[in-house]
Homo-oligomer: A and B are copies of this chain.
Amino acid sequence: MLRAGLTKNRLEAFSDGVIAIIITIMVLELKVPHNPEHGSPGLADLRPLLPEFIGYVLSFLYVGIYWNNHHHMLHATRKVSGGILWANLHLLFWLSLIPFVTGWMGESHFAVVPTALYGVVLLLCAIAYWILQTCIVRVHGNESVLARAVGKDRKGKLSPVLYIAAIGLAFVSPWLAAALYLAVAMIWLVPDRRIERAMGDASDSPGEAP
């Protein structure tokens, strides 16, 4: 097992780098509209981009939420093992597919299969995050601040169920599925106060009051 210091810093720095690139390259999917043959470019030229823009906003939210929660979880992490490094890379792998499925869902104007696949990737990201969380908790012990902070993890258990529901729903109405993806994002938008709260009680580092 590795010491936390440098290892945790580089794990965070590398994850920040990959997540920053993922969140930013999605905007490359928004292709600049070419000049129309007659007349000058207007807002009408942006209309075909609207589904891609909606997909971009949704994915920006999701990647932002993952960065935020990843940040909170590692904030409470004291030790980093080889297993944690690989569980983290595994999470980054599934996150790295978000730009692809976002692009397909947007370009196909929320067609059935691309919208369902978007949910599949979100589901796999959630599973990968759960694996990473489990690895970290196991390294720190069930009595650790982190284990208590994660606690029952209701949100973490609810999300996969909702993703699966949305994947099924996509075959009925892709836009309803997209609305459900947005609803899950809204649930998560509130940062993980469980960890913040538990940190406040147990942290041994000096500083301002939490």
Contacts and interface: CB of A to CB of B under 8 A. Distances in A.
Interface of A: 1-7, 10, 12-14, 16-25, 27-30, 32-35, 40-43, 45, 57, 60, 64, 67-68, 71, 75, 78-79, 82, 85-86, 89, 92-93, 96-97, 99-100, 103-104, 107-108, 111-114, 117, 189-191, 193, 196, 199-200, 203, 205, 207-208, 210
A203 B3 contact: yes
Given A17-B21, A79-B208, A96 B27 contact: yes
Contacts of A4: 207-208
A85 B191 CA distance: 9
Chain A at the B interface: mostly helix, strand, loop or mixed? Answer: helix
Given A3-B208, A16-B14, A96-B24, A113 B203 contact: no
A11 to B, nearest CB: 8
A113 B18 contact: no
Contacts of A2: 75, 196, 199, 210
A57 B90 CA distance: 11
Contact of A30 (B18, B67, B100, B205): B100
A174 to B, nearest CB: 10
8 contacts: A4-B208, A17-B20, A17-B21, A18-B24, A43-B117, A60-B93, A60-B96, A68-B89
Contacts of A64: 86, 89
Given A6-B75, A14-B20, A27-B96, 7 more contacts: A2-B75, A2-B196, A34-B107, A45-B113, A64-B89, A79-B208, A82-B191
